[in-house]
Each structure stands twice: as C-alpha cells, then as structure tokens.
Chain A
Amino acid sequence: MEKLPGQANEESSRKTASDPVTSAERRSLRSQTPQEQAESQRKLNDLLATLWEQRKGILLERLRVLKESIADLETSGSAESRKRGAETAHKLAGILGTFGLPRGTDLAREAEVTLERPAPLEPADLHRLHGLADELGLLIDHRSLPNGR
C-alpha cells in the first residue's frame, strides 16, 4: 500500500525505536476462543509492560518539565510557565492511567486543574503542586504491574 510521505515516517518510527513488536506480530495474536482471548490479553499486557519500559524515561522528562514549571511559578509566576505546566500535566493525566496508573492520572489531573484556574496561585497551591509532582515521581519510578499489567 502506498503511503503518504508523513505517514511513512510515522510508520517507520512505530516499527523501530519506540515499538516493541511489528504490526504483523500483533495481528498474529488475534484470537477466537475464550482461551485464545485470555492469551491475547496476557500478551497485550506483556507488550504494554515492554512499551512502558521504553517510554518511562520520556514520562519522567515530562515530570521534570512540570516540576520546572512549578518552580518557575514560585519566582516569576509567568503565564507561560503556568500554561506549559498545565499542558504537561494534561499529557501525563491522559497516559498514566492507560499504563495502569489511575492514581497517576488523578494526581496529574489535579495539577492540571490547579494550573488552569484563572485565580492567582497561593503559596498553599504551590505547596500542593510540589506534593503532587513528588508523588507522581514516586509512582512512575516504582510502577509495578497492577492487575497483571
């Protein structure tokens, strides 16, 4: 199948550094019976665990950006730092639960909502944001595999 230039790049990136298996391998996991279905779920969990290990560094880098934004807000209080922090928290909220860390989604979402509030941030807000970021760091660092994931 012919691919658009941009799509070809995207497909290429999927199947190299950031993708633990090829599409053909994934499709081979299709199942029909309940036993095969259970097996495909187990294999999906294994693939997700592999993907987590590959992406963990990127998530920690996002957390670093969030912490940096919070630190900036203590000194400059700039709208740009606040926007960057909110966007980063939003991204973390969207992915952590998908990797089996629903608590991480809750923490990141609280940070996002706090940073998006129109009101100026109070010292108590900044203290809470630091606490949220620290707990996120612990969760990401020590992620186990809840529910087999």
Chain B
Amino acid sequence: MGRRILIIDDEDDIRQVAALSLETIAGWDVVLANSGALGVEVAAKEQPDAILLDVMMPEMDGPTTFLKLQSTPQTANIPVLLLTAKVQGSDQRRFAGLGVAGILFKPFDPLLLSKQVSDALGWKD
C-alpha cells in the first residue's frame, strides 16, 4: 500500500538518505522539510501517513514541533516518530513522555528504515 511520509530534519544528509531508503525499498512517497516550522505547514497541507521528526533542530526543536503538530487540528492525528542520535536513557524517557508514536535512533540502517517505521506504527503492509 502506498504511504506518504514527511521527514522533518535540518540535516541534509539525513533527509537524503532517509528519502532514498523509504522510496527505494518501500516505494513510499516522501515529502521533506528542513525545519520544524516548515514541517508543520507541510504536514497540514500534505496530510502524510506519518512523520519522521528530528529532535535536535535550531529554532524549533523536535519536541516543540511535535507539540505544535498536536495543537494543530489538521495534524493532531498524524503519528509522529522521533528520530534522534541521543542514546541516553534520560533523553529517551523524556521523549517517550511526549506521547509520540515511537522513537527511532540515528544512525539508522537505510535497508531497514522502512521496516522500522512499519513496525513502530503497526503497519502490516
């Protein structure tokens, strides 16, 4: 089943690799945004099936972006997976407490990213 994923990350490399991975392996459509503010706009307009959201971004970081998505009626029901290179337990607990659908860790394996997303969201297709 075709899916549309929005990737919000300020890092060009991460956006590029994740897009290559999801489009090539899973055949999903990918939409990109390089900031939290733009990501909220794109999410409202494009209505993706899920959002991969980087944690550490300048100006509007991942948690702040997530709260903005949650408070926006058009995006409140879109599942969000945080994407982070932070591996410390305290960080993970803080992120989980936000109410996100899941947490994926950098570095990710490009061959497995789409499976990780599907598993985290309970997608069977």
- A and B: real partners? yes
Give A residues with C-beta under 8 Å from B: 1, 4, 6-7, 10-11, 13-14, 18-19, 23, 26-27, 29-30, 40-41, 43-44, 47-48, 51, 55, 58-59, 90-91, 93-99, 102, 105, 109
**Other A-B pairs, 6, CB within 8 Å; known A4-B41, A48-B110:** A23-B23, A23-B30, A29-B24, A47-B20, A95-B17, A97-B107
Q: How large is the interface on B (under 10, 10 to 19, 20 to 34, 35 or more residues)?
A: 35 or more
Q: How far is the CA of A102 from the CA of B109 in the complex (A)?
A: 10
**Residue positions of B touching A, CB distance < 8 A:** 11-17, 19-21, 23-27, 29-35, 38, 41-42, 45-46, 56, 85, 87, 106-111
- Residues in B with CB closer than 8 Å to A51 are 13, 16-17, 20
B24 touches A18 (CB 8 A): no
One of A6, A13, A44, A97 near B111 (C-beta < 8 A): A44
- Distance between B110 CB and nearest chain A CB, rounded to angstroms: 6
Residues of A with C-beta under 8 A to B19: 14, 23, 26
- Taking A7-B33, A10-B32, A91-B11 as contacts, is the C-beta distance between A48 and B106 under 8 angstroms? no
Instruction: Tell me if A's interface is mostly helix, strand, loop or mixed.
Output: helix
B12 proximity list for chain A (CB < 8 A): 13, 18, 55, 58
A28–chain B nearest beta-carbon distance, Å: 9
Q: B42 touching A4 by the CB < 8 A rule?
A: yes
Question: In the complex the two chains form, what is the Cα distance from A37 to B6 in whole Å?
Answer: 24
* Chain A residues whose CB sits within 8 angstroms of the CB of B17 once the complex forms: 48, 51, 95, 98-99
Compute how far the CA of A10 lies from the CA of B7 in the bound complex, rounded to whole angstroms. 12
